[in-house]
Amino acid sequence: MSIINVNQSLKYHEGSQRVYDEDTTLEKTKSQLKKIGVTRIADITHLDRVGIPVYSAIRPCAAKGAISVYSGKGVTSTQARISAMMEGFERCLAEKKDMNNNIQEDIPGDEFVDSFDNIKETYYIVNPAKLLISEDVRTDDMIEWTSGWDLINDNEIYVPSNSVYHPYDATNQCVKLFRSNTNGLAAGNVIEEAVLHGLLEVTERDALSIAEMNRNPGKRLMLDEDDGISYELMQKFNDAGINVRLWVPYHDTEITTVVASVDDAQLKDPAMLVMGAGAHLNPEIATIRALNEVAQSRVVQIHGAREDTERDKFVRNIGYERMKRMNGFWYKDEDIDTTTLKDLNDLSRNSPAENINTVIDQLKNLVDNVVVVNLSRESVNIPVVRVIIPTFEMYTLDRERVGKRKNIALKKIRRKGEKTWNHKRV
């Protein structure tokens, strides 16, 4: 049984939202890299003129269908290095054992093959339809199932393995429900950190997807000199002649998601019209994550180590001006609602358990299940999990998987009497 026991006594390192300090985390992480096949860590910050630290991790033995170069970002070089390393652990431990060239251990949970009809009365299960599948699946089709832990109902629950592993190939007798992705994959110093990171990422992708589907970015986040690191990071873009806009999308939780969109008017390269997003209970941390991620997105485009090469071909074919018009809602300057960091609620607490409980309190009235699958292995001393929140949107990752939460943002705007726009695609 894959029980997730959250340590209630674990506290954060003083003045941070991390269990260990940077140097301790770096040493702990470095010692495990050979086990997952990472051969090189490289500083690629210099490839761009912004100067926010970005590192890459190279894992040549990645499974077929997966990328082998991962990137990480941070306020400091140490943070960026750790971020790239953690990405390596997430990607490696998300590979199925029969596809993994480094790890031959099973995950802690149980797995089996059966149809929805055969097991629905025997086990707690997530109906595949709640995972936003693009095509109907018969209830007697054979599906591969993996056990996880439901943080809302505090019980073991089975989810389609297709939603757990990446890359995922169904066995001969099973159906493949959708293209696999990395949404909700997270690593940490301890499993509690990994669980929280996964929860926040799935929530962030939901908020971003709702914004994109409605073509409504939410409120413009305005920073000033009193906003510390967030303001300093924004100024790095401004000093480089890059226009950065920050947005807080509307959502039906109080968890803050921040989106950073950048426009490089000097290069006028359509591939550099990129975004970054971050979510956290602390709005300042969400903002820092968004700015760091958009810096990473720029460097990854320059570096060429991107996963979505089709996007690159598409945007370069249509050109800078049209690409910007197509996504004009992210670059709007007029007729917008604004907010500040001081206006946003800081819900963060002093321990991972308290933060996890706060997130679950925000989610429990919106969804029936919040599932955590433990992907950790005994031989690797870095915990990795996959968080799955059925019905939450992931349009930003897969345009074929669209649920019913699209109108959430618009309803919230109308309740508050805030502005909405009628955007048309160009």
Domain boundaries, the chain: 22-104, 211-343
The tens-digit pLDDT sequence of the chain (426 residues) is: 679 999 999 999 988 999 999 999 999 999 999 999 999 999 999 999 999 999 999 999 999 999 999 999 999 999 999 999 999 999 999 999 999 999 999 999 999 999 999 999 999 999 999 999 988 889 999 999 999 999 999 999 999 999 999 999 998 889 999 999 999 999 999 999 999 999 999 999 999 999 999 999 999 999 999 999 999 999 999 999 999 999 999 999 999 999 999 999 999 999 899 999 999 999 999 999 999 999 999 999 988 755 555 666 777 788 989 999 999 999 998 889 999 999 999 999 999 999 999 999 999 999 999 999 999 999 999 999 999 999 999 999 999 999 999 887 677 766 766 766 554 443
Identical fold for domains 22-104 and 211-343, yes or no, is yes
Report, in angstroms and rounded to the nearest whole number, the Rg of the chain calculated over CA atoms.
21
Nearest to 271 by CA among 315, 304, 324: 315
What are the counts of helices (DSSP H) followed by strands (DSSP E) for the chain? 10, 14
Q: Say what the pTM is.
A: 0.95
CATH 3.30.160.660 for the 211-343 domain, yes or no: yes
- The position carrying tokens 């990328």 is 67
CA atoms within 13 A on the CB side of 142: 8
User: Domain 22-104's class?
Assistant: alpha beta
